[in-house]
Amino acid sequence: MADPAQTVAEATHSSLETRLPALDSVRAFAVIGVIASHAGLFNLGWLGVDVFFGLSGYLITGILLDAKAANPTPREYFVAFYMRRALRILPLAWAVALIAAITERQWSGLLWYIFYFVNWLPVQPPPDVLGHYWSLAVEEQFYLVWPAVVLFTPRRLLPSITIGLILLDVVCRLTFSMWPPSFANQQWLGLATFARADTLAVGALLAQIERDRGLPTRGIAWAWIAVAVATILIEVIHKLEWLGVAPLLTYNFKWPTIAAGVGAGLLIVLVRPPRFMLWPWLRWIGQISYGIYVIHALISRPLHARFDSPVVIFVVQLGVTIMLAAISWYFFEAPILSQKRRWPMPSVRRTKRRGQTEPAVAG
């Protein structure tokens, strides 16, 4: 029988030399915030989803750029990337979706979740406990398109394309909010990919800057100010939304503000992470955060039916979900992820801050 520690080590998405421990803590805070929001404890906890988007944009773009630098054939590039993504994303998500359909006895909308298009629907199909899969759909659509953009776009043009994507999102949101089609209700306007892709693009831009000239290691006090200002603005926008004041303005200003705050926060973590973000237990929660996110909604409804206190719901839901996610990680996800070694991602990692180029196999 394989050593569980070795299996988990093989399953991690990057090597020990290149993995940034603080990013696992970011994942931990993000998923805890989401659960707190769903428990009714912290209204802005849903921002954890946008933090996940920013991380995905940064990490995936970095992997793709490093692979492109190794001059692989398109087959080597695409097959390795999509096989590794499939191993990471699909088994647990599909297993939980089937469990939800069986326990809820709701099958009619299952394919929308399985094939990751649920975020484009104006209404949530059954089984409705899978409502959080909209964010998985956004990421899967990003994975579907972005690798080709990175590979076939000349390197010098990629930052412009990325910024253009953000501007396209702004134009789409403004257009659909001012002249909405009949199906453009609040859910569609909030979950469609154009509504939430800003943070993915900001993360992608960070990865490009890091590989072009390196992230700044000094003079980033402005990033702390940007995070603080974005947090205040998001809180104000949230209050105005709750009061129904200026919905056109709040909708169109909310997403760029979130993206700016997430981007500034990621820069801080990448350059100079606070010491508490290296706590081993926090990093461990981040390591199993995907399982926590996918599984947590399955136990939400029974807890809300049994308890009235948001604190109690949050504590119980977080504790039970962490336990289930840990079991999933060690006995289900990690053995599957160990198969990534069959499809190594070609990679040349450039580290501008160290002034050297080193070959590596990306996760």
| Average pLDDT, integer, range 255-270 | 96
Domain count, the chain: 1
Using alpha carbons, list the distances in angstroms from residue 36 to 13, 43, 117, 139. 27, 8, 26, 22
Residue 355 lies in a domain: no
Query: What confidence score (pLDDT) does residue 348 get?
Result: 81
> What percent of the chain is predicted at pLDDT more than 70?
91
DSSP assignment string, 78-99 = HHHHHHHHHHHHHHHHHHHHHH
User: Is 171 within a domain?
Assistant: yes
* C-alpha–C-alpha distance, residues 250 and 301, integer Å: 30
Query: Cα dist. 172→27, 103, 179, 180, 317 in Å?
Result: 29, 38, 10, 10, 37
Q: Is residue 244 part of a domain?
A: yes
C-alpha to C-alpha distance for 268 and 219, rounded to whole angstroms: 11
Which of 56, 36, 55 lies closest to 46, judged by CA? 36
Per the CB < 8 A criterion, the answer to whether 117 and 97 are in contact is no
Residue 354 lies in a domain: no
Q: Which pLDDT value is given to residue 112?
A: 97
Statement: the pTM of the whole predicted model exceeds 0.85:
yes
* Residue 363 in domain: no
- Given a cut of 80, whether residue 136 has pLDDT beyond it is yes
- DSSP, collapsed to helix, strand or coil, labels residue 358 as strand
Q: How far apart are CA 64 and CA 68, in angstroms?
A: 6
Domain membership flag for residue 352: no
What does the pLDDT read at residue 349?
A: 66
- In this prediction, residue 217 carries a pLDDT of 84
Residue 117 lies in a domain: yes
Per-residue pLDDT reduced to its tens digit, 302-311? 999 999 999 9
Asked, for residue 146, whether it belongs to a domain, the answer is: yes
Cβ neighbour number for residue 7 with a 10 Å cutoff = 16
pLDDT of 4 reads 36
What are the angstrom distances between the C-alpha of 270 and each of 26, 45, 277, 318?
11, 22, 11, 27
The whole-angstrom separation of Cα 63 and Cα 147 is 10
Mean pLDDT across 140-164: 97
Domain containing 101: what range?
4-345
Please write the tens of the pLDDT for every residue from 318-358.
Answer: 999 999 999 999 999 999 999 999 999 998 864 443 333 33
Query: Which one-letter DSSP state was computed for residue 264?
Result: H
What's the whole-number average pLDDT of the chain? 90
Confidence of residue 37 (pLDDT cuts 50, 70, 90): very high
